[in-house]
Amino acid sequence: MPELPEVETVRAGLARHVLDRPIADVDVLGPLGARVTRRQLGGADELRARLVGRTFAAAVRRGKFLWLPLAEDGGPTDEALLVHLGMSGQMLLPTGAPEPHPHLRVRITLADGGLVDFHDQRTFGHLVVTDLVPTPDGGPGGFAGDRAAEPALPVEVAHIARDLLDPLMAEGTEDRAALVRRIRRSPRGVKRALLDQELVSGIGNIYADEALWIARLHHERPGDRLPAPRVRALLAAATEVMSAALAVGGTSFDSLYVDVNGSSGYFDRSLHVYGREGRPCERCGTPIRREAFANRSSFRCPRCQRRPVGTGR
C-alpha cells in the first residue's frame, strides 16, 4: 500500500499541474470504472455533475489521504474530490494523444485540453466528491504545499490523525508530546501504534519497520514499557525515514507506485531491513529476519532489535 511519501509525491505533482484549470468533462470507463466510483451514491453521473464546471483549488494531504478542494465561479465550495489510491491507484497526467490503457478507469478532461487519468489495476482505490467538515482541532486540514490549507477535511478523513510531517506534529509541539504520552499509555506493541491511523497517520508497514530498525526496537515492545526518550527517538526515526523517502519519490517495488508522470520512486535502494530477509544487517552483520505480523510481514535484525522478554522466542 502506498504510504505518506508516495501519496505526497502524487499530491505535489497534481498541485504543480492541475489547479485553477476548469473541468470540462469526466468519463467513467466501463464496469471497472464504475467500481472505483462506487462510493459516489449517484455513480458516474453524479461524479460528473459535481465536477464539470468547477476547478481544483488546492491539493491537500493528511497521512495517506489526498483530496482536491473544489472551487466554482471563482470562490471555494464545501466539497472536494477525495482520491484514495488503494493498492494500485495512479493519478497520471498524459500528454498528446495517449494510447488507450487497460487500467484507465476515470478520465478528467480540463477545458484547456489537459487530462487527469485515474488508473487502477486492482480497483481497490476510489474517487468520490464529498463534503468538507471542520477539523476537530481548528487547524489546517492537511499539507497543501505553497497554498494555505483550509481548516476543513473530507468527512471520510475526519477520524484520521495528523502525520509526523505536519507542522502541528513537529518535534517540540504539544501534539507531538501528546502522541508520546498516548503511545506510552498503551500495552500494545509499538509497531501497532505506528500503524494506527487514528493515532498518527501516514506510516505503513515499510516505514514502520525502517523506523524500528533505526531506533533499535522490536515491533512487539509494549509502549507502556518504553521511557519517553525512546518513544521520542522512534518518532524522530519515522520522521527521518519518511522525509528521506519523499526526497527520492517514495518506494516503488514495481510499476504500480508512480508519480503523475509515471516515474517510480527509488527509496527501495536505501531500505535497511524491509524486504531484506537473509541479508546482513548494515550495523552488525546479523542476517535480517522476516516474521509474520498481522497478516503481513515484519523485518528486523535479531541482534539490534531483540525480542522483549515474555513475547516468544
Which of 61, 64, 184, 221 is catalytic? The answer is 64
Among left, alpha and beta (phi > 0; psi -120 to 50; other), residue 312 is left
What string of DSSP letters covers 106-148? EEEEETTS-EEEEEESS---EEEEEEEEE-TTSS-SSB-TTSP
Which of 16, 188, 279, 296 is catalytic? The answer is 296
State the Cα–Cα distance between residues 177 and 160, nearest whole angstrom: 18
3-state DSSP call for residue 96?
A: coil
> Contact at 8 Å (CB) between 121 and 40?
no
Whether 3 is catalytic: yes
Whether 191 is catalytic: no
Whether 279 is catalytic: no
Q: Residue 57 corresponds to which cell in the numbers above?
A: 483549488
What string of DSSP letters covers 8-57? HHHHHHHHHHTBT--EEEEEE-HHHHHHHTTTSTTHHHHHHHHHTT-EE-
Helix, strand, coil shares of the chain, percent, nearest 5, are: 30, 25, 45
Active site residues: 2-3, 64, 296
